[in-house]
Chain A
Amino acid sequence: MNKTVQELLSEIFWTEAPTSDESRPTDPLGLDAMREELSDKLVPCLTSRTSRHEDFFWALTFLRWSASEATEKKREERFLHWERCLKIYWIKFRKNIKGFPGINQARSQASRPPSLKFQKLLKVQRAQGMLGAHLGPLRQLGLAKRNELVLENDGIRLVEGVGNPPDLKENWESWKRGFDSAGRAFDVNFKIELRKRLHQRMPELYNALSALRWRANMGWGQAAKHMGPRLEPYANLAHVFCPWADTIRSCFDEILHYNPDVDFPPWLRGKIPTDLKRWDPLRKIAEKWKKGNLENVLADLHKDVFFERGYSRSDLWISIEDGRLLRFPGRADYRPIAEGSDCRWSNAVALMRPFR
């Protein structure tokens, strides 16, 4: 032991939660997981985080730029590197840029001199960033290969104009020049091509949205009539489930934060198709819900969902011990998030609506 006792003592600390804790569960009742399963039936070629044509363009571009790497791992690393550079470029040179995953880290890295050393923007950038959000849709649309991080010929053709990867240096000018030049390939033709492909892959959805004149507010109930017998039950369920799930989630938050007056909605109307597997916990509590004591019913649902995902008793946000309802708001510092709460309706409208 070369260090003195004083130095060792100065290293003793009391633990606290990590400052960048993005891995905590945000879906205590499993409702988001159910909504995702339902959305996969209705809008299979998009995710709740795909809402801009430009993001598709850059995802394709980065896949193209990373194709020269020999291994899958290196292609992935290369993609994440380009994503980081692009997001920093957005912060630095785009005044009107809206929020995107990793904006806080991108801001902090943009405030420092340009560096090519990779620093993550998100805790798990592979899953939470552009690659995680767009890879599935690109594969569904036949633009990327199923088992590899490589584009199909159609995908390559869509981003033909981006040219070679830019030669970024440790000055902002080279970043601006590089991304400006590649970004010029993102034009109306790209949007038209992408829309055409989405139309081809999801014709029922396209018909329904166009029959409703591309309304921005969710209208799965009306859309159900135009979606054909296969998708109609799912659309009807989405119509009642989305607002119901949002209300339940806020009721859960009220319980968690000791609010004594919680107005619970009635039980979900409509049938749950049998092939929706993630909906089992909800099916299980249906009888209990009708009998009353809804706080305990939600606690049971929360426990079932968390235990199924492998969390332990000490992770629960609320639990019933000796007949008493215990609340642990410190374990849940997230408010309900609106992302995808319309079963990807607005995303589908934004990306599929014909160009005027």
Chain B
Amino acid sequence: MRNNIQTASLAERIKETIGGGYVIAAFFSTYTFSRDFFEQEVVKLIADEGRRRGFFPLTIVMDRSQYRGNGWGYDIVRHPERMWHAKLIALFVENPELELKWTVLAIGSGNLTRAGWERNQELYLVHSWNGWILPEAIDSWMKEPWLSECKFGRWFHNNRIKIIAKNQRASIFTNLKKPIWNQLNSLTGYKKWNEAHVLAPFSDNFQDEEQFGGTKSFFRMLTERAHSASNLHIYLRGIDSEGKSVIGERRVFESLARKIRLHIHPVLPFEDRQLHAKLFAFRVGNSWSLIIGSPNATGAAMIFPNKNIELAWEFARIGKSQLGKIIPRCKEVQLSKLFFKKPAFMNKRRWEALESAIYLPKANRLRITWKVGFGPKNTKILLDDKIINPFRINIETTNSRFLETRPRIPTKEKYEPGFVPIQMPSGYLDLPTCQFKKLSPEEWLELLGKPFSLELPKNGPGAGENGGNGAARNIERHQFIWRDRVAKLSGSLKGLRETIRNAGTPQTINYVDRIVRGVWASHNPRKYQRFSTEHGWCKWVRSGLWQVLREECDGRSINHRGLCNLLNKWSRKIDGVLKEFPIA
């Protein structure tokens, strides 16, 4: 199948496109999501081996019914009603040294799972543009209220992201408002096609559960727009090594064969890799057009309004030679000789008891919204596999950011557990302060001075020079570098001062509040021997922090109330002499 066809690893292609830059914001769209794969592979790819996880906006939008849980450092949002089937990777990259910004956009057929990235046969287009831009189709998603409130949505609205309009020859479509079929440039007006290729794997019962609705309607619509004696090539997912068994419905193809010249090509599993790519190609007159992306050959994906949300990229007026490099070469098999396996879906009922769960950090509780008919009497809520009391919870000590709901009493009908993501309040920094990974005092200090523009790691420890900082190299190892530390602290405190002064929203103050608390807790002088250097240093840091808060916090501003409380609380813990001591 793979003759003359370009192949690449999606992860490696994305890595190449990011190059020496740092991802500043990331947005993913998927149907199914594998938490384990995402945290192990994808986060490492885009967040410097996971070190910057939680420090930049990272949002995933996925289908409501497929959600099975997520972890800290990123948020997951779901469409309230419609099935979300679009697949997209959008990364906003910056290289501060070269003062360059670029956008990496990947549109294709693979979900955010190991199968989607590595195992299945998927089609993808990874492209990068100078500057931070997004296509009009994705901009229309960002206008949706449920999506604009997520971390990425807020970042998107706060930054100047250029929007690229649709183009006659290469356009990106979504069917949020209008079906994709009605937007295609290649079949506008009364244009009819003479030859078409449809690559549609549909589904089977254990590989994925994607919807199969309205295949017949789609092909009816397709044949209506065909010239008489047109050729339709359909590529189906083969499930045996001989190419005699395929996934699909025989009656659909039999009725098609009566109307049109039908050619069926089973795509064999290549090294155990199942076909999951989606592609449509039409010849109208002498020119070809190509559509790739998430839509399957179904009515729900292509023609019905208010059904699946899909994303597709259309290329109009292209040459046949280019198409040959993309469409797989597979032998045609007669319809009568094929064995069809009907796609079956697991429609297991789930105990979906919660509408939403919002974490309230100051009260250490969850604001739970129940669905009608559900409540604490018939449902138990689990976090990290333990039953919890939503009114008394500390999310920072857990690794998961989702709740699981199960029936309290065994029911006659069998229910699968339901899942709901825990929403973090806006401005809340989901830092890895859980028991699994704690920030060091130095890392807390680094955060202190630059809350919204983190210092990015260099391209490698020895980049450009040998042995790092020459001055530091000459210092005796294990010597306490007092001068360097004081200079760094002074810079951080200056940054903190400016942040508090310029803070326009309670969210910023909340952010500062968390960082300041973290710095204070990590610099506890009691951890060290009295009169040791580290003991003195911790006192120094705490005094600096207290002095900045005293000077900058305005007791009259309601925004500063939290910080003023901290100031009063800490006042007793600072030695009187240090309160007036000139820190910087």
Residues of A at the B interface (CB closer than 8 Å) are 1-3, 5-6, 8-19, 21, 23, 64-65, 67-74, 77-78, 80-81, 85, 116-119, 124, 126, 148, 150-151, 156, 164-165, 167-169, 309-315, 319, 321, 326, 328-331
Of B116-124, B140-148, B243-251, which binds chain A?
B116-124
Of B3-11, B226-234, B387-395, B565-573, which binds chain A?
B3-11
Asked whether B468 is an interface residue with its Cβ less than 8 Å from the other chain, the reply is yes
With A70-B488, A117-B462, A119-B460 in contact, is A12–B442 under 8 Å at CB?
no
Q: Nearest chain-A residue to B69 (Cβ)?
A: A310
Please, how many angstroms separate the alpha-carbon atoms of A164 and B477 in the complex? Answer: 9
Contact of B477 among A68, A81, A117 (CB under 8 A): A68
Q: Find out whether the CB atom of A23 lies under 8 angstroms from the CB atom of B40.
A: yes
Given contacts A11-B127, A13-B7, A313-B206, 20 further A-B contacts (CB under 8 A): A5-B170, A6-B318, A8-B127, A8-B315, A9-B318, A9-B322, A15-B9, A15-B117, A17-B119, A18-B9, A19-B12, A68-B473, A70-B481, A73-B51, A78-B468, A81-B460, A85-B462, A117-B459, A312-B114, A314-B115
Please, how many angstroms separate the alpha-carbon atoms of A328 and B271 in the complex? Answer: 9
Contact of A314 among B119, B271, B461 (CB under 8 A): B119
Nearest 4 A-B pairs (CB), nearest first?
A: A118-B460, A330-B272, A310-B36, A77-B461
Query: Using a Cβ cutoff of 8 Å, how many contacts connect chains A and B?
Result: 187
Q: Find out whether the CB atom of A124 lies under 8 angstroms from the CB atom of B49.
A: yes
Please, how many angstroms separate the alpha-carbon atoms of A312 and B123 in the complex? Answer: 22
Contact of A117 among B8, B206, B463 (CB under 8 A): B463
Please, how many angstroms separate the alpha-carbon atoms of A105 and B170 in the complex? Answer: 40
Please, how many angstroms separate the alpha-carbon atoms of A10 and B459 in the complex? Answer: 30
Asked whether B2 is an interface residue with its Cβ less than 8 Å from the other chain, the reply is yes
Chain B residues, CB < 8 A from A81: 460-462
Q: Find out whether the CB atom of B206 lies under 8 angstroms from the CB atom of A321.
A: yes
Contact of A16 among B9, B44, B317, B475 (CB under 8 A): B9
Give 10 CB contacts A-B under 8 Å. A1-B129, A16-B7, A17-B9, A68-B473, A77-B457, A168-B466, A168-B467, A310-B34, A311-B34, A312-B114
Q: Find out whether the CB atom of B484 lies under 8 angstroms from the CB atom of A331.
A: no
Asked whether B446 is an interface residue with its Cβ less than 8 Å from the other chain, the reply is yes
With A5-B318, A81-B461 in contact, is A165–B467 under 8 Å at CB?
yes
Asked whether B326 is an interface residue with its Cβ less than 8 Å from the other chain, the reply is yes
Q: Find out whether the CB atom of B461 lies under 8 angstroms from the CB atom of A310.
A: no
Asked whether B216 is an interface residue with its Cβ less than 8 Å from the other chain, the reply is no
Q: Find out whether the CB atom of B121 lies under 8 angstroms from the CB atom of A14.
A: yes
Chain B residues, CB < 8 A from A313: 206
Please, how many angstroms separate the alpha-carbon atoms of A67 and B5 in the complex? Answer: 51
Contact of A71 among B108, B205, B442 (CB under 8 A): B442
Q: Find out whether the CB atom of B446 lies under 8 angstroms from the CB atom of A13.
A: no
Contact of B6 among A13, A17, A148, A156 (CB under 8 A): A13
Chain A residues, CB < 8 A from B460: 77, 81, 117-119
Q: Nearest chain-B residue to A326 (Cβ)?
A: B206
Q: How far is the CB of A201 from chain B (nearest CB, A)?
A: 24
Please, how many angstroms separate the alpha-carbon atoms of A236 and B515 in the complex? Answer: 51
Q: Nearest chain-B residue to A21 (Cβ)?
A: B118
Q: How far is the CB of B271 from chain A (nearest CB, A)?
A: 5
Contact of B440 among A9, A13, A72, A312 (CB under 8 A): A72
Chain B residues, CB < 8 A from A311: 34, 36, 114
Chain B residues, CB < 8 A from A71: 440, 442-443, 446
Q: Find out whether the CB atom of A330 lies under 8 angstroms from the CB atom of B271.
A: yes
Q: Find out whether the CB atom of A328 lies under 8 angstroms from the CB atom of B461.
A: no
B49-100 contacts to A (CB < 8 Å): 49, 51
Q: Nearest chain-B residue to A66 (Cβ)?
A: B461
Asked whether B169 is an interface residue with its Cβ less than 8 Å from the other chain, the reply is yes
Q: How far is the CB of A182 from chain B (nearest CB, A)?
A: 13
Asked whether B125 is an interface residue with its Cβ less than 8 Å from the other chain, the reply is yes
Q: How far is the CB of A167 from chain B (nearest CB, A)?
A: 6
Please, how many angstroms separate the alpha-carbon atoms of A317 and B188 in the complex? Answer: 47
Chain A residues, CB < 8 A from B446: 71
Contact of B466 among A167, A314, A315 (CB under 8 A): A167
With A1-B167, A69-B468, A118-B463 in contact, is A314–B207 under 8 Å at CB?
yes
Please, how many angstroms separate the alpha-carbon atoms of A148 and B126 in the complex? Answer: 41
Q: Nearest chain-B residue to A316 (Cβ)?
A: B206
Q: Find out whether the CB atom of A72 lies under 8 angstroms from the CB atom of B442.
A: yes
Please, how many angstroms separate the alpha-carbon atoms of A206 and B167 in the complex? Answer: 75
Please, how many angstroms separate the alpha-carbon atoms of A295 and B49 in the complex? Answer: 38
Q: Find out whether the CB atom of B475 lies under 8 angstroms from the CB atom of A68.
A: yes
Chain B residues, CB < 8 A from A167: 466-467
Q: Find out whether the CB atom of B170 lies under 8 angstroms from the CB atom of A14.
A: no
Please, how many angstroms separate the alpha-carbon atoms of A95 and B14 in the complex? Answer: 38
